[in-house]
């Protein structure tokens, strides 16, 4: 899996003043919960989970380790609920990233939709790639990595699933662990990994953003017409995790 990755992108070597300038740019543009832990965030009050009717327990936030300067914070539960205006602002910033508004210091952004194919086909964020299984993430992001041609720019990866509570955060953590296994710390192929708060469901139900969905629809994982597909893909996910675990032990 790691063959050919010696020449992959690692954390750019910059002078101290250049690095500080880039962090300052990030602080001015991004202040949402799907951005690195190094970026200041507003203090949010504890509230009820934002997805009513979904039995999700509030969990503490875990940190997925990255480079010293760029840590990705992955929310594994729904313990903090941003206000509707703050949530919309976060989604709008994602759209701004995807439409090239920050191209002066972003080489590219990869949105990884971790939902199952029938969910993705029922509606997804324009430009997102559907990588529902761990082996899909390995093949797309590690075996054929995206590399910044301009060393002064960055490549970022944004994960999400239906609610960004389970599949998206877990896949983000998986990529970080695999990336670390292929590089000597602190060098990483993808130093900046993010999870989109609220997932596709919240993105779609902001009417102002539906023009950035194709098709303009939302198909939940538990849709009654896709019970067989759900059973099949859940089985594939479990088998894939077991295979990777066994392979890791053999290395």
* Active-site annotation, residues: 161
In the chain, alpha helices (H): 16-29, 84-98, 117-121, 134-137, 167-182, 199-204, 227-250
Residue 29 CB burial class (10 angstroms; 0-12, 13-18, ≥19) = middle
Q: Coil, strand or helix: which one is 159?
A: strand
φ/ψ of 124, rounded to 5, equals -150, 165
Q: Measured between alpha carbons, how far is 196 from 19 in angstroms, rounded to an integer?
A: 25
**Whether the Cβ atoms of residue 183 and residue 172 lie closer than 8 Å to each other:** no
d(CA 51, CA 161): 13
Integer-rounded Cα Rg, in Å, for the chain is 18
Q: Which neighbouring-strand residues pair with 194?
A: 158
**What residues pair up with 63 in beta bridges, in sequence order?**
73
Sign of CA dihedral 231, 131, 97, 193: positive
8 Å CB contact between 219 and 138: no
């Amino acid at each position: 899996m790691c063959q050919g990755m010696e020449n992959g992108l690692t954390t750019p070597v910059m002078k101290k003043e250049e690095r500080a300038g880039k962090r300052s740019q990030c602080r001015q543009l991004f202040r949402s919960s799907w951005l690195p832990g190094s970026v200041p965030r507003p203090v949010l009050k504890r509230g009820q989970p934002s997805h009513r009717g979904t039995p999700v327990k509030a969990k503490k936030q875990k940190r997925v380790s990255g480079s010293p300067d760029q840590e990705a914070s992955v929310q594994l539960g729904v313990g903090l609920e941003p206000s509707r205006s703050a949530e919309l602002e976060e989604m709008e910033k994602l759209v701004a990233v995807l439409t090239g508004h920050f191209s002066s210091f972003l080489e590219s952004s990869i949105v990884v939709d971790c939902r199952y194919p029938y969910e993705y086909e029922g509606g997804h964020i324009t430009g997102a790639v559907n990588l529902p299984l761990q082996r899909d993430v390995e093949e797309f992001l590690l075996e054929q990595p995206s590399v910044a041609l301009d060393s002064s720019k960055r490549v970022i990866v944004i994960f999400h699933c239906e609610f960004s509570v389970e599949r998206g955060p877990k896949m983000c953590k998986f990529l970080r662990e695999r990336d670390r296994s292929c590089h000597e710390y602190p060098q990483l192929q993808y130093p900046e990994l993010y999870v989109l708060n609220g997932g596709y469901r919240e993105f779609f139900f902001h009417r102002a953003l539906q023009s950035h969905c194709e098709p303009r629809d939302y198909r939940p994982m538990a849709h009654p017409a896709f019970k067989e597909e759900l059973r099949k893909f859940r089985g594939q996910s479990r088998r894939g995790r077991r295979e990777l675990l066994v392979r890791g032990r053999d290395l």
